[in-house]
Amino acid sequence: MSRYHTKIILLLVIFALCGGNYTHAQTSPSSSPVVTDISMLEDKSGSLDAAAVMKSGEFKHVDVATPNYGLTESVYWFKVNVANHSQENDLLLKIHNGIVTKASFYEPSGNSFRVWHSGDSVPFVHKAYNSQFPIFRLHLPRDSSASYLLRVSSNNVLDLPMKVSSEVQILDAVNKDQWFFGIYFGIILVMFFYNLFIYVTVRDTNYLYYVFYIATVGLVQACLKGYAAKFFWRNNTWLTINMPNIALSLSGIFAIFFVFNFLNVKQYFKKLYYILWAINIIYFIGIAISLTGNHIVAQKMLQGNASLVSIAIMTAGIMIYRRGFKPALYFTVAWSFFLTGVVIYILKDAGVLPYNGFTSNAILIGSGFEVSLLSFALADKINIYRKEKEASQAQALLALQENERIVLGQNVMLERKVDERTYELKVSNDELNKAMVELKEAETQLVESEKMASLGQLTAGIAHEINNPINFVTSNVKPLNRDVQILLDTVEVMERMVTDDSIPVPEKLKKIQEYKEEIDYDYLKVEIDQLLSGIGEGASRTAEIVKGLRIFSRLDEDDLKKADINEGLESTLIITNNLLNNLIKIEKRYGSLPMVECYPGKLNQVFLNIISNGIYAVKKKFGESDGGLLTITTYHDENNVFINIADNGTGMDDGTKKRLFEPFFTTKDVGEGTGLGLSIAFNTINKHDGRIEVISELGKGTEFIIRLPLIHK
């Protein structure tokens, strides 16, 4: 504990003792001109009225200055006999208890009584005096005496220090009590805002819980002394009656939360941690019981719980301090002051200690010391954290200095290592560049290999397609040559007959007719027409194939240009016609498409790869049987054209579909494919800013959906 903190504590102790002695000196008994004799009657049922009580002979004399009947549901009647030997005609009766639920004062008036009410159940607006204490006026002339009745009941401890004196003395005592509580509440406010400011500054949750604890402790004392009802909710009797139990419970709850965080109870004393949680639950139950109107039951529960939590918290402070947590010492000392105040207050109620300003305010004094010392405890904990941080920083500085020395010692070695590694990296970089060149060459060769494979397929298709019309032309040339030779011979025969004048004309005509019949001239004309027509058809088919080949190959494929997608698909089908073997049906559903800005030759290569794969899948499923179908559909929207190429072949599973566009991945047998066709197709579609999707089901077929933008970006 620092010297500064010690001085503060000593000043508070001296101030509290001086305040207590001053109050005691002003209120200590002396020769008084007012003589008061009090007797008591307990009404357990609460059913007696004033007339019945006055006639009762069961009153017992009250021998103590501060009668205390504890927690009880009984109603207590007091017969107050007063003899006024002072110079005043009016006196006041004060009950120095700010939480009496109801106090009724009966003044005899003929055969009846005049009644005044006070206590927590009466709003301040209806009270005769602006005080939380029940105060009643006694109209008693000098040198006279009278008997009065006082009916008292309470939901709290029925502690009844009563005094009859002049108005000046009574109100002066009330003001002194308010002055003393003002000092206490000032300490509470200072501690509240001081710790709230520190919490906002350092964001330590210990301070947050402590701020809540200070607020609820101050509220508890304000409720128990009656000042909360006087200053905070003057005319709300529900709050006046219920808040003492609620505030008491909340102060216990926040005290436990503060202890959890400040003392690290869960770490140092785990069993006590669970005990305190159980006590916390009892506080919540007590609040619930109090709100149902069972105030006496709730008060008994809360008093017992308060005893348990006091013992548990004191035990936690002592045990955790013994386990090496130094801030627990401040905490234990602070809690000891509070418990000492509670013990003094209880001994006062039991009559062991006299009733005076110090004993009646012992809890306030103890509570004031507690909140002050706990603030010091929190500050000490921050100092411990600061010292630990400084020690940690010192160790970190030493470590940094050692690291600096090591770094300096290693610099030379590192520089040498860097030179060695730089040379190694240069060699590795040269090798890597060489490997990259080789990789690019290999990639180029693979792409060229795929192109050559496609070219081989193209060549085979073209050879097959052109061979049929060429064979047709070749087979027609020989018979046509023969028929032409016959015609030429016929012309020579006709010339001889025409120039031979020895033969009469009729005879010439007859011989000519006989010759025509001999050579079957009519059939010869028909045959020549058919042969010429066949040669013409073969030539046209060959020209069509050449045109399709020219469209498919697109020598200008490296340049963007507007192209007809349907025309490209049609030229691709011409190339792949030889693969169909007249067994696979082609279904075309061409839409009316706008021209697309693209690389036509590269797109035709994509169509060829997909159609070839579709034909392969259909043949694998159907073999040499009928039933194979390849469907090609084209359509467009405002910005794109779509090409759907579907087959009813073998289809594929999810594993194959995921790897479909990987380079070198193929499901074909060795020698039937390189695995690059669809990879090239995927890259080509990406180059066009398009998208290619695959829908496939094993055993049912596959559909490729290609989207191409109309304008290449």
* Site of tokens 């903190």: 5
Label residue 367 by pLDDT band (50, 70, 90).
Answer: low
Return the pLDDT at 591: 92
Return the pLDDT at 375: 67
Measured CA angle at 328 (ends 325, 332), to 5 deg:
155
pLDDT at 14 over 70: no
Return the pLDDT at 705: 93
Give the chain's count of helices (H) and strands (E).
18, 16
d(CA 367, CA 215): 12
For strand 34-43 and strand 75-84, is the pairing parallel, antiparallel, or unpaired?
Answer: antiparallel
Return the pLDDT at 290: 85
Tokens representing 77 are: 């009647």
Name residues whose C-beta falls within 8 Å of residue 100's C-beta, 6 or more positions apart in sequence: 118, 119, 120, 134, 152, 153, 154, 158, 160
pLDDT at 22 over 70: no
CB atoms within 10 A of CB 360: 25
* Residue with more model confidence, 121 or 326: 121
For strand 102-109 and strand 561-563, is the pairing parallel, antiparallel, or unpaired?
Answer: unpaired
Strand, coil or helix: 591? coil
Return the pLDDT at 359: 67
**Please, which contacts does 687-693 make with residues 24 or more away whose CB atoms are closer than 8 Å?**
687/599, 687/602, 688/598, 688/599, 688/603, 688/712, 689/713, 690/640, 692/661
φ/ψ of residue 398, rounded to 5? -60, -40
Return the pLDDT at 645: 93
Range 132-156 average pLDDT = 87
pLDDT at 543 over 70: no
Return the pLDDT at 201: 78
Return the pLDDT at 594: 93
Largest CA distance in the chain: 202
Give kind and range of the element (H or E) at residue 481.
helix 362-499
Which of 93, 98, 136, 105 minimizes the C-alpha distance to 119? 98
Range 66-70 average pLDDT = 80
φ/ψ of residue 595, rounded to 5? -70, 145
Return the pLDDT at 454: 57
Is 148 in contact with 80 (CB distance < 8 Å)? Answer: yes
Label residue 162 by pLDDT band (50, 70, 90).
Answer: confident
Distances (CA, A) of 662 to 277, 674, 682: 63, 11, 9
Residue type, 346: I
Range 113-122 average pLDDT = 87
Residue type, 696: S
Name residues whose C-beta falls within 8 Å of residue 484's C-beta, 6 or more positions apart in sequence: 528
- Please tell me which of 431-445, 621-635, 668-682 the model is most confident about, judged by mean pLDDT: 621-635
Is 331 in contact with 377 (CB distance < 8 Å)? Answer: yes
d(CA 500, CA 515): 16
Is 696 in contact with 703 (CB distance < 8 Å)? Answer: yes
Return the pLDDT at 636: 93
Q: Which of 229-233, 251-255, 455-459 has the lowest mean pLDDT?
A: 455-459
Q: Which of 73-77, 409-413, 465-469 has the lowest mean pLDDT?
A: 465-469
Range 171-199 average pLDDT = 82
d(CA 26, CA 18): 12
Instruction: Fill in the DSSP letter of residue 558.
Output: T
Measured CA angle at 260 (ends 255, 265), to 5 deg:
130
* Site of tokens 């955790």: 320
Return the pLDDT at 385: 57
Label residue 632 by pLDDT band (50, 70, 90).
Answer: very high
* Residue with more model confidence, 483 or 349: 483
pLDDT at 29 over 50: no
Name residues whose C-beta falls within 8 Å of residue 57's C-beta, 6 or more positions apart in sequence: none
**The dihedral of CA 380, 382, 385, 391: what is its sign?**
negative
Label residue 390 by pLDDT band (50, 70, 90).
Answer: low
Tens of pLDDT, residue by residue over 576-588, are 777 777 788 999 9
Strand, coil or helix: 207? helix
Which of 306, 301, 300 minimizes the C-alpha distance to 338? 306
Distance of CA 497 to the CA centre of its chain: 116
Tens of pLDDT, residue by residue over 519-537, are 777 777 777 777 677 677 6
Tokens representing 635 are: 């359509």
Q: Which of 144-158, 238-252, 503-517, 668-682 has the lowest mean pLDDT?
A: 668-682
Return the pLDDT at 704: 93
Return the pLDDT at 545: 66
Distance of CA 387 to the CA centre of its chain: 37
Label residue 18 by pLDDT band (50, 70, 90).
Answer: very low
Give kind and range of the element (H or E) at residue 629.
strand 628-636
* β partners of residue 498: none
* Residue with more model confidence, 8 or 445: 445
Residue type, 41: L
d(CA 601, CA 557): 5
Is 246 in contact with 362 (CB distance < 8 Å)? Answer: no
Label residue 593 by pLDDT band (50, 70, 90).
Answer: very high
Is 589 in contact with 631 (CB distance < 8 Å)? Answer: yes
Return the pLDDT at 601: 81
pLDDT at 238 over 80: yes
- Please tell me which of 94-98, 552-556, 633-637 the model is most confident about, judged by mean pLDDT: 633-637
Is 469 in contact with 539 (CB distance < 8 Å)? Answer: yes
Q: At what angle do helices 237-263 and 327-349 cross, to 10 degrees?
A: 150
pLDDT at 102 over 60: yes
Label residue 16 by pLDDT band (50, 70, 90).
Answer: very low
Q: Which of 154-158, 353-357, 475-479 has the lowest mean pLDDT?
A: 353-357
* β partners of residue 640: 709
Tokens representing 672 are: 């039937």
Name residues whose C-beta falls within 8 Å of residue 126's C-beta, 6 or more positions apart in sequence: 117
pLDDT at 278 over 80: yes
Range 222-250 average pLDDT = 84
Tens of pLDDT, residue by residue over 636-681, are 999 999 999 999 998 888 888 888 877 766 766 545 555 667 788 8
pLDDT at 24 over 60: no
Distances (CA, A) of 307 to 285, 353, 360, 512, 642: 16, 21, 19, 152, 84
Is 77 in contact with 103 (CB distance < 8 Å)? Answer: no
Distances (CA, A) of 380 to 324, 326, 329, 339, 469: 15, 9, 10, 22, 108
Is 649 in contact with 583 (CB distance < 8 Å)? Answer: no
Average pLDDT, the chain: 77
Instruction: Fill in the DSSP letter of residue 363.
Output: H
**Please, which contacts does 562-565 make with residues 24 or more away whose CB atoms are closer than 8 Å?**
562/595, 562/596, 562/597, 563/595, 563/596, 563/598, 563/600, 563/603, 564/593, 564/595, 564/596, 565/593, 565/596, 565/603, 565/634, 565/641, 565/643, 565/708
Return the pLDDT at 448: 56
Label residue 20 by pLDDT band (50, 70, 90).
Answer: very low
d(CA 217, CA 335): 13
d(CA 491, CA 515): 11
Which of 642, 464, 619 minimizes the C-alpha distance to 569? 642
pLDDT at 564 over 50: yes
Instruction: Fill in the DSSP letter of residue 86.
Output: S
Tokens representing 398 are: 């030493």
Label residue 691 by pLDDT band (50, 70, 90).
Answer: very high
